[in-house]
A and B are shown apart, each in its own frame.
Chain A
């Protein structure tokens, strides 16, 4: 039992008549977020001033408090987890304690995180300074059902312990009384030794402490035992201080002692010391903290038990993703129709009218703008609602903390398959876009792991492929498109894993993966503002992309479609089938015949798809819609058009609301009318061009084919031209083989 502790506890609070000590300095130390500054503010009120620590940008707060007629100066030290040379904050705190030698140190502990907070406390206790432990945030600890035996803690540490709730100023009177007692003390109080570092280490500590104690210039500034421990730990800041003051021989002696310990005990001295300190703290916490059995399992733990279950976790993840795609397809379709109506109706009419007004009606410029730019870019922009809703739902899952679990699950899954678990991170990024996925392989330290993962990333279905799945899927499969899209995403992952296994056991034989631990954040209610912000940022990127690269690609495709290769047509006035694009595509089309999509139109879309996958949609729009007969259009005024846009938007919003509510079990607010396809002319053409089987084969090819030019650039940048060429050739071969297998296999099974 600590005499100091019990003496202090028995001492009455000082009165104004008692002896007053002038210039009493108290330091406040503690971990970040332990309520130290709240306590400082509660004690000093407005009597404080803020500055910086000399030569540092770290804030220094100093204030004073009058207790029993004594003026006590309080200094708020930076929040730190330990008293070492690991950060500027730690060095600032240590320098202050060593140089200023405060009369007392209030070590503020978060009562709910005692085990971690005690680490700093034990280090400060070793400095030999008079310590008062402030057990703060007691209310939060009690709310969690923790019971802390304050008296026993005080007894075991050998110092006073005062429980407080600084936020509501609970326990402050007791703390002030304790401070007053410190002011009154006539003999300096030194904490007892708390941590026993084991026989061998203690022997070296004793030897070094004796040497330090024998040197007056050292002993005057440092507690010899504390100094011995710090030197054995190899604390660079302490070594530097000592060396600057003629203590270099002691530093050398300490290094020799540390080396002896390492040879004797098989590990570095600082590890041995830290280990014993943690061991002491762990034992101390077990003695003084009682927690209810359920405390260990938070709500997050309960949810994690289900969603990260080794067996059920993956099916839950896939079911979750399926729900996201279903909701996206159902909810967004009405806005897809609305945008399509605006682009194909009023917007096109305005452009035609404007060109007609300046005498350019019926010229190649009108063709470029309406059939190239508007049809091409518009064909992609139509899918903005789909992507926005997808991003919204994904952001919702991410903000809730679930996506971290998904990463954990997939990590474990890949580990089981023998692949590097970390590969999953770039691959998951690849679901959004292959390019950041390829660059994210830099997080893998091993070159072979990097390359293998880089080759697998493009197999993940990137966001740019989504519009292709949707336009073909909705045209051919209608309401079942959501399931098809989901299946394609899964197929991409499965193929990536299979290819990974194949490459790992052939080209990339590699070492075993190192075990690891992963930090899962607690679940939280998603912030609606944050989710909307992320949705907007991601959608904006897509729109930027659609109006830059795809605009250029659409113009190029329009040019190829506009250049005649027979005398029957002229520039911008030629049947698509007689264009340069058709000639190029016809040359390639036979290669796709075994896969069921051997028309020049589909071949042309696959060629232009190398620029960016979304361009497949715009190309299909240009080559098919260009050929489709135009429906007669009722003339309308500008005001009528604006009114139509507004009314159709309101209708789309209403339908979306009904569709969203209809997703609830037992609710059906939608009539059973067939879903209107995004672009009637394109849908009609696609239905003629594809059978369900050839459509699936086509989409499988789109999923697995060589990545876009930007991804190729990223692959070349990261792995060189040889591996980029390998990736392109390898993926083309797999895509062609898979699509032929789907088509021919389906035919054999009588599916098409």
Chain B
């Protein structure tokens, strides 16, 4: 199977979440090239980017949430980006 389809196939066949590094290693594709393929599938709507980098905190007016923007969010700043098969 060619690398582009192999990427999609490997994600579909994985029993659970798989990291980009694992995937690149399994398919013998450079991580940066793999990212390019993932971006392509996202553009084509076969994969969906579901990362939450910089998740917005609640509005500043509320009481218990940070008012200093996402950077002031307790515990978490940046979540890893996730790409899932678009159902």
Contacts and interface: CB of A to CB of B under 8 A. Distances in A.
A537 B71 contact: yes
A274 interface: yes
A548 interface: yes
Interface string B1-36: 011110000011110111111010100011011011
Contacts of A514: 84-87
Nearest to A434: B64
A436 B78 CA distance: 14
Contacts of B12: 515
Contacts of A711: 64
B38 A517 contact: yes
A391 B63 contact: no
A240 B63 CA distance: 52
Contacts of A440: 52, 55
A439 interface: yes
A122 to B, nearest CB: 12
Given A114-B30, A515-B12, A274 B55 contact: no
A227 interface: no
A429 B55 contact: yes
A548 B45 CA distance: 46
Contacts of B51: 519
Contact of A422 (B14, B50, B66): B50
Interface in A404-425: 404, 407-408, 411-412, 415-416, 421-422, 425
Contacts of B75: 394, 398, 428-429, 431-432, 463
Nearest to B72: A537
Contacts of A403: 76
Contacts of B48: 445
B57 A436 contact: yes
Interface string B49-69: 011100111100011111110
A425 B54 CA distance: 12
B81 to A, nearest CB: 4
A709 B64 CA distance: 9
B74 A391 contact: yes
**Most chain B beta-carbon neighbours within 10 Å: one of A268, A411, A432:** A432
Contacts of B77: 398, 534
Given A415-B16, A545-B64, A709-B63, A521 B76 contact: no
Nearest to A520: B19
A515 B21 contact: no
A434 to B, nearest CB: 7
Contacts of A537: 66, 68, 71-72
A114 B29 CA distance: 11
Contacts of B71: 533-534, 537
Contacts of A192: none
A278 B2 contact: yes
A279 B2 contact: yes
Given A415-B17, A443-B55, A425 B33 contact: no
A439 B58 contact: yes
Nearest to A443: B52
Contacts of B40: 274
A116 B65 contact: no
Nearest to B30: A115
Contacts of A412: 16-17
Contacts of B30: 113-116, 285
A431 B12 CA distance: 31
Nearest to B83: A517
22 contacts: A115-B32, A116-B33, A271-B4, A278-B4, A282-B33, A301-B25, A412-B16, A415-B17, A425-B52, A433-B65, A433-B73, A438-B58, A443-B52, A445-B48, A515-B13, A516-B11, A516-B50, A517-B14, A517-B18, A518-B80, A541-B74, A709-B63
Interface of A: 81, 86, 113-117, 119, 268, 270-271, 274-276, 278-279, 281-282, 285, 296-297, 300-301, 304, 308, 391, 394, 398, 403-404, 407-408, 411-412, 415-416, 421-422, 425, 428-429, 431-436, 438-440, 443, 445, 462-464, 511, 514-521, 533-534, 537-538, 540-541, 544-545, 548-549, 612, 708-711, 713-714
